[in-house]
Amino acid sequence: MTRLLVQELRQDTDLVLAAVQKDGLALEYAPEELLADKEVILAAVEQNGELLDFASEELRDTKELVLAAVKQKGYALRYASEELRANKEVVLAAVEQNCDALEFASEELRANKEVVLAAVEQNCDALKFASEEIRANKEVVLAAVEQHGNALRFASEEIRANKEVVLAAVKRNGNSLAYASQNHECTLPRFLEAVRATNAYWLLHFAAGDLQTDDFHGQCRAACGTGLVFTYY
């Protein structure tokens, strides 16, 4: 008798909705048919977007509901339908909440400059989820390295050989010079420009062997001026 009563209560939409509104995790105990109830799922994902994982297949393909989920927790994008992971509005909302949601966007949107810029402007590491084409886009990579130079490691080889991009990365973090392409023409003037921009004498450790002369070391010290920085940062 008690078991039947509990079963009946679990199937009471109003009761389940009240429980979910108080604690979204109560959704775990809802019967399967209520996992297809839009009002119940919406109440849950507005508290915790990742509860979209419990929703029926049909609801995971409902734009209004998925938008509510990704705005609360961007990572919920991974539970959205394939169609909605290819929806620009949904993906933008997701990456604006959590840039790492870019990983779950469709291939087409991971190649969309606006979407990737929205992600990398929050966290440069999101560049690693972008398409090969976008990782070769100078504007996008500059936006990433201007946040943190080490984002250079996710750029295409061609961009890692670009003087402007490499210098922007080095200005943010001298260590990022290690990620410059082997094809990067690190001539003496370019190298001194990087040292001058960072006041980091230790950058000379990244210089090619043919530059490693006493005269070169002296020029590096002079380029640093009075702001000489010896330690890694």
- If you write DSSP's letter for every residue of 97-128 in order, what string do you get? H-GGGGGGS-TTGGG-HHHHHHHHTT-GGGGG
What is residue 77's predicted lDDT score, i.e. its pLDDT? 98
Q: Is residue 4 part of a domain?
A: yes
Q: Are residues 216 and 149 in the same domain?
A: no
Q: Are residues 77 and 43 in the same domain?
A: yes
Q: Is the pLDDT of residue 38 over 70?
A: yes
Point out the least confidently predicted range of 57-71, 114-128, 178-192.
178-192
Q: Are residues 170 and 192 in the same domain?
A: no
Q: Is residue 219 part of a domain?
A: yes
Of 108, 163, 116, 123, the closest CA to residue 137 belongs to 116
The model carries a pTM of 0.74
For residues 166-195, one letter each, b for 16 or more C-beta atoms within 10 angstroms of the residue's C-beta and e for the rest, the string is bbbbbebbbbbbebbbeebebebeebbebb
Q: Are residues 131 and 71 in the same domain?
A: no
What is residue 233's predicted lDDT score, i.e. its pLDDT? 40
Token pair recorded at residue 74: 């961007």
pLDDT band at 85 (very low <50, low <70, confident <90, very high): very high
Q: Which residue has the tokens 């886009």?
A: 137
CA 73, CA 46: separation in Å to the nearest integer? 9
pLDDT band at 174 (very low <50, low <70, confident <90, very high): confident
The number of distinct structural domains making up the chain is 3
Q: Is residue 63 part of a domain?
A: yes
What is residue 162's predicted lDDT score, i.e. its pLDDT? 87
Bridge partners, residue 200, by sequence: 229
Token pair recorded at residue 212: 């490693």
Bridge partners, residue 229, by sequence: 200
Q: Is residue 30 part of a domain?
A: yes
Q: Is the pLDDT of residue 232 over 60?
A: no
Asked if residue 156 lies in contact with residue 181, where contact means CB atoms within 8 angstroms, the answer is no
Q: Are residues 15 and 64 in the same domain?
A: yes
Q: Tell me the HSE value of 116 on the side-chain side, using a 13 A CA sphere.
A: 29
pLDDT band at 62 (very low <50, low <70, confident <90, very high): very high
Q: Is residue 131 part of a domain?
A: yes
Q: Is the pLDDT of residue 95 over 70?
A: yes
Q: Is residue 73 part of a domain?
A: yes
Which of 183, 204, 222 lies at the terminal end of a domain, its last residue?
A: 183
What is residue 8's predicted lDDT score, i.e. its pLDDT? 46
pLDDT band at 159 (very low <50, low <70, confident <90, very high): very high
Q: Are residues 53 and 10 in the same domain?
A: yes
Higher pLDDT, 70 or 12: 70
For residue 49, the enclosing domain spans 1-84
Higher pLDDT, 39 or 213: 39
Q: Is residue 142 part of a domain?
A: yes
Q: Tell me the HSE value of 154 on the side-chain side, using a 13 A CA sphere.
A: 25
Q: Are residues 147 and 194 in the same domain?
A: no
